[in-house]
Structure formats: structure tokens, C-alpha cells
Amino acid sequence: MTMTPEEKQIILESIRDIPDFPKPGIVFKDITTLLSNPEALNTLMTHLENRYKHYNLDYVAGIDARGFIFGSILADRLGIGFVPVRKKGKLPYTTVAEKYSLEYGFDEVEIHIDAFGKEGMCNDKPAKVLLIDDLMATGGTAKAAANLVNKVGAECVEACFIMELMFLKGREQFEMPVYSVLQID
């Protein structure tokens, strides 16, 4: 399913640009204005629901923290479970971790070892999982999160982003399909 140019415009116009945040030269894409705009949020979530309702997904996994918002809404609309992918040290039970590179150093994300059921199985087959986040820049965090989903025995079938910064070429890190609602050049 594709969005109309008018629907994309509603979403795009609801996202605020914050220049020089968190440091000079960066233009931060602030989604809080999208979240507070009922028309834009409903337009986005209806589009995602229509896109994914025939994927026969078992779970939506959202990346800490803004992926939690979109992922939990979408999981509810699809009638399936939601799993948070958290920054290291934030989950209370046994976890599996994956490191990823930052500009200067490394970071890690984690999920519970049984996040998608025992050995990632759902109805005697690997659980089908959609990964979601608000923004893909270089793709490092999302790639690590997708690896975690697969590491515990589930299957990450697609990575979904509300916005993709095309000039950073994060999509090239993925072997699975990647979908972005808005592409920013």
C-alpha cells in the first residue's frame, strides 16, 4: 500500500525541525508535534495498519524509545504483541545483547531472551516480527535490533521507519526489506 502525496504532506508538515540539536550542524526531526496532531498520527497509523495487516505478523518490536510509541500503537491495531528493544541495562529479566558502532565508540541494545516465546517460536514456527522506529540514519541501531530478533529464534521480516535520512545510506546495512514512510534527502 502506498500513501497519497496529500497523506505524506500531512505527516511531513506535522514534524518540526529543530536546528543545531543536539549539536551544531544537526537538524533534529522532532516527532512530538506529529504525536500531538491527531490527524497526522491517525493518517500515519492507518497507513501502517493497512500496510501490515496482511503480513501475518506475530509481534511488533519497537526500538528504544520513540519506536515504543509507534510500535505499541501498531501492535494494538493489528491485535498482536509488542516487544521493546531497550538500551543496555534497562530490562529486568535475562537478556540477549547486540553491540553497534557509534561515531565514537559502541553502544548496545537488548531484548528479553524469551521476548517472542520459547526459542522465538510461535505456533511451532519462528515468530514473524516487524521492527519499527521513528528514524533511520546510519542504520546501526536498527541493524543491531534486527540481529537480536533473529538471534533469539524469531524472524525479523521487515524494518519500518517513519523517516529515513537517505543521504546516510543506512538501508544498505540490511539484508531484509526496509520500508520508510518518508524519505528525507
Whole-number Å distance between alpha carbons of 98 and 69:
22
**Catalytic residue selected from 6, 103, 172, 175:** 103
Exposed, middle or buried: residue 37 (CB in 10 Å: 0-12, 13-18, 19+)? Answer: middle
Q: Using CA atoms, how far apart are residues 78 and 168, in angstroms rounded to an integer?
A: 31
Spell out where 9-137 has E strands.
Answer: 16-19, 27-30, 59-63, 81-87, 95-102, 105-112, 121-122, 125-126, 128-136
Is 66 annotated as catalytic? yes
Residue 103 is a catalytic residue: yes
First and final CA of the chain: distance in angstroms? Answer: 22
Q: Which residue is catalytic, options 66, 77, 108, 155?
A: 66
Which residue is associated with the grid cell 528504544? 64
Neighbours of 123 (CB within 10 A): 8
Q: What is the DSSP letter of 117?
A: B
Catalytic residues, by residue number, are: 66, 103
